[in-house]
Amino acid sequence: MSEQRPTFSIVAPIYNEESILPEFYRRTRAVAQELGGTFELVLIDDGSHDRTLATAKEIAAQDPCVKIISFSRNFGHQIAITAGIDYAEGDAVIIIDSDLQDPPEVIPELVKHWRTGHDVVYATRSERRGETWFKLATAGLFYWLINRVTSLSIPSNTGDFRLIDRRVVLALRQTREHHRFMRGLAVWVGFRQIGVEYVRHERSAGVTKYPLRRMLKLSADAITSFSYVPLQLATTFGFWVSGLALLAIPVVAVLRLMGSNAFFGQATTLIAVLFLGGVQLIFLGVIGEYLGRIYDEVKRRPLYIVGETVGLTPQGGAQAAPGPSPDAESPELRGDGQHAVGEGREV
């Protein structure tokens, strides 16, 4: 272990959080100073359009513990968490959102369980203040569904707020799929895990970065990343429909011989054709979702591109990530071949 390595790395994606970032920094630093070890605060700017990056640089200029990764554009929350894990050097990495809905004051409780030997300490929301009944209902449905159709067992009401040990970090760096569901990957890698309950607060400023559209995309990524059930449903439904048709053939034949007109006319045929056509299109769409994800993987594009860093070198924490040696003709690609640094500027 390097003597320069901090004990704790606090990883926080930031996206258009100009108004709340100073308060997040103040509270997080106050908590970090009481943890009993050295620390770094790694902020990942996910292509913000306001003064979030400038504000982060002002903070970093006053505090060398603050380090910044700035993407060349918006790559998404899950990718920003991935970049933070790639660069984090701490023995324990704490992932937390910067909107203060997940209070930094819970971090010491996570650390306490880590020091007792747990590798992953996830935060479970015992209360979710300020959220609508629709958000609560859809969240409950999501966790029920993901636990039914996958082999994972993700505790209900958990998000990305968690502490992960260094060896979990190294394991997660080896997972490079593009459509990422980080809380699922954190469960998939295994190790000793335990939950800590906390009260999730209302957002104190700004707007949510997870509207319904993004929640649906995250749900689709979670299911397709860890389950083949949607594909298997097509086969199951096909057998059921075929069985029903086989049973219906003698029934219809007998009714026709008896002179019944129950199945005469175009309406019945039209309804059956439209129903089966709709089902076929749905399952073609499901197959297309999986094919699209395969297409994204085989292209082997970088997960993200770093425009600049503050307090970090381009090699950063991701140096340990697996992959081929750097291509001498493509110096902008880092050694793991899965993410890139623009000019690698360090400010």
pLDDT exceeds cutoff 70 at 279:
yes
Q: Is the dihedral of CA 103, 45, 312, 218 positive or negative?
A: positive
* Cβ neighbourhood burial of 243 (10 Å; 0-12, 13-18, 19+): exposed
C-beta separation of 321 from 338 below 8 A: yes
More confident residue, 272 or 105: 105
SS3 of 107-132: the string is HHHHHHHHHCCCCEEEEEEEEECCCC
181-220 pLDDT, tens digit each: 888 888 888 888 888 888 877 766 556 655 566 677 777 7
315-325 pLDDT, tens digit each: 444 433 333 33
pLDDT exceeds cutoff 70 at 239:
yes
Other beta carbons within 10 angstroms of residue 211's beta carbon come to 9
pLDDT exceeds cutoff 50 at 336:
no
Residues of the chain above pLDDT 90, percent? 5
Return phi, psi of residue 164, to 5°: -130, 140
pLDDT exceeds cutoff 70 at 169:
yes
pLDDT of residue 331: 30
More confident residue, 210 or 119: 119
Whole-number Å distance between alpha carbons of 262 and 244: 17
Name which of 85, 112, 64, 89 is nearest 8 in CA terms.
89
pLDDT of residue 163: 93
C-beta separation of 221 from 173 below 8 A: no
By mean pLDDT, which of 17-21, 242-246, 281-285 is the weakest?
A: 242-246
Going by pLDDT thresholds of 50, 70 and 90, the confidence category of residue 13 is very high
Placement of tokens 């203040």 in the chain: 129
pLDDT of residue 250: 72
Whole-number Å distance between alpha carbons of 169 and 34: 23
By mean pLDDT, which of 12-21, 99-108, 213-222 is the weakest?
A: 213-222
pLDDT exceeds cutoff 80 at 120:
yes
pLDDT of residue 176: 86
**Mean pLDDT over the full length of the chain:** 76
Other beta carbons within 10 angstroms of residue 4's beta carbon come to 7
* Cβ neighbourhood burial of 190 (10 Å; 0-12, 13-18, 19+): exposed
Whole-number Å distance between alpha carbons of 296 and 303: 10
Mean pLDDT across 59-86: 89
HSE, side-chain direction, 13 A CA sphere, residue 306? 31
Whole-number Å distance between alpha carbons of 164 and 186: 8
Q: List CB contacts of 78: < 8 A, sequence separation 6 or more.
A: 180, 181, 182, 218, 221
Strands 8-14 and 158-165, by their bridges, are unpaired
The most confident of the ranges 116-120, 158-162, 263-267, 331-335 is 116-120
pLDDT of residue 34: 85
